Structure 1
Amino acid sequence: MRNSLGVVLAMSLAGCGGERGEPGQPVNEPQIVVRSPEQDRLHELDDMGRDIGLKRAILASGLRCRRVTQSGYVQEYRRLSLWTASCDDGRSWAIFVGPDGSAQVRPCKDMQQLGLPGCRINPSPRRPASG
């Protein structure tokens, strides 16, 4: 009787809580993202405005980019908004934007080696129609 009670208890507990990654960390729970007004402004820009802003961040880092051919939001990474921009010379850049508006720029080709998220643009959520 005691063994069967233990088996029933173990089976009932096995169905609780879903999958887990690290101990105490639920895998499928939504994460809250807190961004500063500076970080939010990039999300509000149209494509051309975003390209110009990211190009300025690249140039301010002492790197070269004549024209941004594609850019987009990647993800949040440790309180930094990660964006990517591809330039007409074939180079692609990862741009980490901090809550204070500062930017750190790295070559996308180095991201995997550094253990950082890849430069894959996430599809933009639809913007509400203004009217």
Structure 2
Amino acid sequence: MRLPAIALLPALILAGCGDTGSQQAATNQPDIAVRSDEQNALHQLSDMNRDIALKRAILASGLKCKRVVRSGYVTEYKKLSMWAADCDDKRSWGIFVGADGSAQVRPCSDNAKFKLPECKIAEDPSGRAARGIAKTS
């Protein structure tokens, strides 16, 4: 009985040391965004259909938007895909889309107060630029 415990002792000592180099490398890894089919679908829509989808999310939240004049992808935020939409009444909305297809809509003017990402439209990961933004190569 004593022999197996002694045989395991060097392995336990080595396991306790760890490899700080690999731990350091792991902390430098970029975050990987995992999106659902519902979230990915927005990336595949044409500009017009994306505008319609975001407008519907705004209206379903009880907010007003007669017409979306500019929209685009912003970023991933806590497992939500964030989109921005500017309406013709000069209001800007941040739309946070969940993996289940649900949407939470906030005025972009409130984002700093709630420590949310700025409603700055980034280039769509599909390679398309948001409507109204020139694509640079």
- What is the TM-score when the length of structure 2 is the normalising length? 0.72
Give % identity. 60
Question: What corresponds to 1:119 in structure 2?
Answer: 119
- Alignment partner of 1:98 is 2:98: yes
Aligned partners of 2:124, 2:89: CA distance in 1, in Å?
25
Name the SS for the 2:95 alignment partner. Answer: strand
Answer yes or no: is the 8 Å Cα contact 2:43–2:124 preserved in 1: no
For CA contacts below 8 A with separation 6 or more, give which structure has more relative contact order: 2
Of 16, 25, 31, 2:27 maps to 25
- How many residue pairs match? The answer is 106
Give the counterpart letter for 1:110 in structure 2: D
Kindly provide the CA deviation profile for residues 39-95 of structure 1, in whole angstroms up to 9, marking residues without a partner as x.
Answer: 000010010010000000000000000000000000000110000000000000000
Residue segments in structure 1 that go unaligned for 5+ positions in a row:
1-15
List structure 1 segments (4+ residues) > 3 angstroms apart after TM superposition: none
Structure 2 counterpart of 1:25, which letter? T
Q: What is the 5 A alignment of 1:1-131?
A: 25-26=27-28, 29-125=29-125, 126=127
Q: What's the counterpart of residue 3 of structure 2?
A: none
Find the structure with the greater CA-based Rg: 2
Q: Distance in 2 between matches of 1:61 and 1:49?
A: 19
8 Å CA contact 2:91–2:107 kept in 1: the answer is: yes
